[in-house]
Structure 1
Amino acid sequence: MKTRRDILLGASATLAASIAGQALALGNKFPHDTRSLGTFNVDTVTNAALDQTFALQLNAAPSSVWDLVGSHTRLNEWFPGIASAYVLEPTSTNRNFTPLFTRQCEFEGDLLTEDIPYDNGRDAYAYSINKERSNVLVPVSDHLGIFTVEPVSGGKSLLVWRQYWRKGLMGQVGVPRLVNRYMKPGLQNLVDRYGGGFVAVT
């Protein structure tokens, strides 16, 4: 039997999905309601649900946005807390997928390691935090993040950042802090750089 809390949470999720759907209808190259991205399937990395979506409309051509956002070594130019980032050969040997390569970020004096299971080199890539090879406290598990950039009318771009993860008890507090201290300010840096604004945060 559904409780009042279940009903309210369900209604909230439905509303969030509706808002995201309206915003993401700006672009149609990367459907937000599927678990695939070109030849890549989310379930090869995680079966966690899509929990967080950010969408920005930026006043710049997709190629310009991708030059920055799609670069694994330029994260320090827009994401708070990252001093430098570099790419390594794959370092994961005990995960259920084989990454294309690994990137490491010097994050507030600590090391954040992420495996890259998909990158088409044009307008989409996926990354997964490797907690065993990081010394950053990460408040989620079974993580996968996806960036996509696609054209919209007027020569502008739609940037969408999706997060699949499980929050658990630690994540109930840690994820809002992560979002408000790092993720939203990082995206705002992109808005400040290119012009435009947020069209969805769910």
Structure 2
Amino acid sequence: MKVHNPLFALGLVAAAASTSACAQGAGPAPSIPAAVTDVWSDIKIPAAPELVPATVDAKTSALLILDMYPTSCNATARPSCVPTIPRVRSLLDQARAKGMKVIYSAGYTSLNGPTDPVPELARRPEDGLVRGPADKFYSSDLEKLLKDGGITTVVVTGTSADGTVLYTASSAAIRGIKAVVPVDGMSSKDRFAELYTAWHLKNSTASVTRNVVVTRSDLITIR
């Protein structure tokens, strides 16, 4: 039989190969679900990441306190944010005692949101303030503030974990800035989001993970 259509000819060859494989006992290829939602309930939650100590140099580091204002960090909006306040306050006290740079963030100016953090984390006139979306490097002068101050390491705290903490820490890491992220200094509306953020920062692409340290506030030393 002459075959003039080359695609049809390739189909005949593939069919013949499949028939031959089945005849030899290879059987059909196993069925793999196309979407993760098809196996959602079968996926096990991975083990918690190992938290490691981190020592930062006050002269070349900055403490970032992101979006921790009263309307976002309270028992109603984000209950898990409330217990992070004393942990972040402890880091803030250490940073101030060592003369380390402190930078706060808030949302876009056009949103007319608050710029002052919760009272326990009060901002001083000399502290930096940037406004932007989840990634605080985007459409803000954060990168310039860090470069002008000779900052090569940032300690990233704030809410929400799966928003501003995840994207700002990742963005810093991609820029070659070391990001130290204390898991007890971040929060979200959903605790799973906090879990996911810790896992992602520890297990993401190498361009992020090589510059990220996942830790706890009491494991951070400011010298």
Question: Taking structure 1 as the reference length, what is the TM-score of the superposition?
Answer: 0.32
Relative contact order, higher structure (CA 8 A, sep 6+):
1
Question: Taking structure 2 as the reference length, what is the TM-score of the superposition?
Answer: 0.30
Q: Which has the higher strand share?
A: 1
The structure with the largest alpha-carbon Rg is 2
Q: Which has the higher helix share?
A: 2
